[in-house]
Amino acid sequence: MKLSPREATGYFARPEPDRAGLLIYGNDAMRVALKRQQAIAALLGPNAEEEMRLTRLSAADLRSDPAALTDAVKARGFFPGPRVVFLDEATDALADRILGALADWQKGDAQIVLTARQLPPKSALRKAFEAHPDAYAIGIYDDPPGRPEIEAMLAEAGLGTVDRAAMGTLLDLATALDPGDFRQTVEKVALYKLDDPAPLTPEDVAACAPRSTEAEADALIHAVAEAKTAEIGPLLRRLQAQGMTPVTLCIAATRHFRQLHAAAADPDGAASGINRLRPPVHFKARDRMVRQAQGWGMHRLEQALGLLLDTDLQLRSSQRAPQMALIERSLVKLAVLASRRP
């Protein structure tokens, strides 16, 4: 059976122990791993490793021993309780061996939990798990966690009441951090509030959030795109003090201007182009980037990308010019270009 993202959030929190299998697949290995960890922990509870109720297999194990998965699923342990056989990096090349074990599965056997990279709809593994009446297939996508998923994380971490403003702060933070960092932040917030019965507030979240240069880097690039030349120097000095490298800044600026170019070139207009970008642009920056794309126009954005490409080549070359001065000069040139009327 196939579960939608909304259904999957509830299932990961309370998976069904009497099912034959669970296939979790997606492009982002970290997101997939976090969901797999959550599902197995909910299925087996604590001490599963010590009680040998969790068996781990790799793709290499299955390639060298075609019966390894079936044998592990059928094996009986010394300790009572549910059992799981976890196979990482499953692929369609191993589908016949995996699906053979799934076909042989009976009540009382260990549940088969698989993780895989992104699987197309025609994938043999994905089709088999989606069609199986006693197994689930769940795709993990690159969208940031939504409110239900964050609420589940908070409950798992032992946090109770969360006011609306704090949830808004967490939603914003979820779009800025990768999944592993965000989960660690939630766990840190839970420890921070361990002996505090008051509801979670935005200030609590801010106190635990990792200090990141990304927001200031975004502010710098927006200033460049909006011809705010006077803001470039101070923002650049601040980023330099925080350890941001010129090459990283150049990469970030190039990514931003490529997004603007894609939006400006969209036949349905810049707003449609921004909405089609993947990964999606955060809603707080969407209108701002639409205005930037419309103001620059496709041809001037091509000029901007050419300048950034030249800058990137110079930064990576063996020339001895000060790199921060080089990127600052290029950003100022872009801001001047933005100030000219098309």
Q: Strands, E, within the chain: which ranges? A: 2-3, 21-26, 54-57, 84-87, 111-116, 135-140
pLDDT interval class at 213 (50, 70, 90): low
Q: Which two tokens stand for residue 295?
A: 């103001």
Residue 273 in this model has a pLDDT that exceeds 60? yes
| Helix pair 246-264, 214-225: axis angle to 10 deg | 50
CB 225, CB 256: distance < 8 Å? yes
Residue 310 is which amino acid? D
Residue 198 in this model has a pLDDT that exceeds 90? no
Give the separation between CA 4 and CA 7, rounded to whole angstroms: 5
CB 261, CB 255: distance < 8 Å? no
**What is the per-residue pLDDT across 229-238, written as a single tens digit (0 to 9) for each?**
998 988 888 7
- In the chain, the domains with their CATH numbers are 2-140 (3.40.50.300), 147-208 (no CATH), 214-339 (1.20.272.10)
The residue-averaged pLDDT of 282-311 equals: 90
Q: Average pLDDT of the chain?
A: 87
Give the separation between CA 148 and CA 172, rounded to whole angstroms: 14
| % of the chain exceeding 90 in pLDDT | 46
**What is the per-residue pLDDT across 287-301, written as a single tens digit (0 to 9) for each?**
899 999 999 999 999
Phi-psi region of 177 (alpha: psi -120 to 50; beta: other; left: phi over 0): beta
- Which residues have CB under 8 Å from 34's CB, separation 6+? 179, 180, 183
Q: Is the pTM of this model over 0.75?
A: no
Residue 133 is which amino acid? P
Spatial CA neighbour of 28 closest among 98, 146, 120, 115: 115
Quote the distance between the C-alpha of residue 235 and its chain's center. Answer: 27
Give the separation between CA 277 and CA 255, rounded to whole angstroms: 12
The predicted structure's pLDDT at residue 227: 93
The predicted structure's pLDDT at residue 210: 66
Question: Which of the two residues, 330 and 241, has the higher pLDDT score?
Answer: 330
Average the pLDDT over each of 10-19, 54-63, 165-174, 312-321 and give the range with the smallest value.
312-321
Residue 73 in this model has a pLDDT that exceeds 70? yes
**What is the per-residue pLDDT across 126-163, written as a single tens digit (0 to 9) for each?**
999 999 999 999 998 877 777 888 888 888 778 767 77
Spatial CA neighbour of 18 closest among 105, 125, 98: 105
CB 30, CB 179: distance < 8 Å? yes
Spatial CA neighbour of 113 closest among 187, 32, 194: 32
Give the separation between CA 338 and CA 342, rounded to whole angstroms: 9
Residue 311 in this model has a pLDDT that exceeds 70? yes
**What is the per-residue pLDDT across 57-72, written as a single tens digit (0 to 9) for each?**
999 999 999 999 999 9
